[in-house]
Amino acid sequence: MEGRPADEAELLARAQRGDQGAFEEIVQRYQQVAFRVAYVITGSAPEAEDAAQEGMFKAYRALHTFRTGAEPRPWLLRIVANEARNRARSAGRRHQLQLRLADDFRPGDAAPSPEAAALAGDEHRRLLALVNELSDDDRLVITSRYLLQLSGEETAAALGIPEGTVKSRLSRALDRLRARVGDKTNG
């Protein structure tokens, strides 16, 4: 298609051939997801910014290690997530991640009235509060997969685990979240 923006693999190939502008474009395209992955890991926006920034720079320096034909996004996210984990570990202080629902939350077409929308909003807020209470590992896998909508490969990159392990870890995390939802409902 004429005028079509270059895809990420093409940009990365150009960056590998020395086109720095191409890598800068990749940074711009991925900065949001990279920052949010780092934020979920560190629980701190300033730490996440540092990690995403440094991760991008490390990726640039490691361009020669990127395998042609591989997906650039998981590769980049893995480097950023590793940087975020290292920073979180060496900071010697834990930030508790507190995800919140935006004030202008709209549940979508399913809500037929403002009252129903408010009820749906309350339900989602309660669910998010339970996600916040999960262990770090459970929260990270659920947030990566559903709230950040990462693919299985990208979730594996964010968690620093093999892709084959994501499914089982996600399943166990959902079971534990389901149990908490049940406790709240019954209690």
Minimum CB distance to other proteins smaller for 4 or for 93 = 93
Minimum CB distance to other proteins smaller for 24 or for 151 = 24
Site for other proteins in 72-111 (CB under 8 A): 75, 78-79, 81-82, 85-93, 99-103, 105-108
Task: Give the x/- contact pattern for other proteins in 121-150, rule: CB under 8 A.
Answer: --xx--xx--x----------x---xxxx-
Question: Who contacts 177 (Cβ-Cβ below 8 Å, separation ≥6)?
Answer: 130, 131, 134, 138, 142
Binding status of residue 27 toward other proteins by CB under 8 A? yes
Minimum CB distance to other proteins smaller for 1 or for 110 = 110
Binding status of residue 17 toward other proteins by CB under 8 A? no
Question: Who contacts 176 (Cβ-Cβ below 8 Å, separation ≥6)?
Answer: 134, 135, 138
Residue 134 half-sphere exposure toward CB, CA atoms < 13 A? 26
With CB under 8 A as the contact rule, the residue among 2, 67, 135, 168 that binds other proteins is: 67
Shortest Cβ distance from residue 64 to other proteins (Å)?
6
With CB under 8 A as the contact rule, the residue among 11, 13, 52, 141 that binds other proteins is: 52
- Distance of alpha carbon 30 from alpha carbon 72, whole angstroms: 10
Q: 150: closest CA among 30, 43, 11, 51? A: 30
- Distance of alpha carbon 97 from alpha carbon 95, whole angstroms: 6
Tallying the residues shown for the chain, one arrives at 187
Minimum CB distance to other proteins smaller for 3 or for 69 = 69
